[in-house]
Amino acid sequence: MKAEEIYPVLISIAIIIAVAFLQRQSKLAAAIISTTPVRAALAIWVVYAAVEGNKDAVAKFNGSVALSLISTMLFAIGAWWAAKQDMKIGGILLTGYGAWAVATGILFLLRKVLGIG
């Protein structure tokens, strides 16, 4: 296994442990850690290496990452709304992922139609 394959797993485990520990002390700190851009940073690193630092390819990928954050934000808003409605974890996750899926579909279509990202 390559380091690029191991690092995301190890970092993800560390984040889960940190969130589990910190949520007792500070919900805010746990939330901040849970939203660190670890996966995006690792993906940028992998793409950068794969395209040998090609500026245009890296910029295009980073633009796609930025647009994709809209769907991630809508996931969080959907999950927040569902929690405020006193839904159980299944409803919270389904609502969050539903918002994410709809937003991702719309963004995918816009990218195709407008030729962005």
pTM for this model (two decimals): 0.74
Rounded to an integer, what distance in angstroms lies between the CA atom of residue 103 and that of residue 112?
14
Higher pLDDT, 117 or 11: 11
Q: How many independent structural domains does the chain possess? A: 1
Per the domain annotation, does 18 fall within a domain?
no
Per the domain annotation, does 63 fall within a domain?
yes
Per the domain annotation, does 32 fall within a domain?
no
Per the domain annotation, does 33 fall within a domain?
no
Higher pLDDT, 48 or 81: 81
Query: pLDDT-derived band of residue 56, with 50, 70 and 90 as boundaries?
Result: very high
Check pLDDT > 70 for residue 3: no
Per the domain annotation, does 105 fall within a domain?
yes
Q: pLDDT tens across 76-95, in order?
A: 999 999 999 999 999 999 99
Per the domain annotation, does 24 fall within a domain?
no
* pLDDT of the residue at 5: 66
Per the domain annotation, does 17 fall within a domain?
no
Per the domain annotation, does 31 fall within a domain?
no
Q: Residue 81: which domain range?
A: 54-117
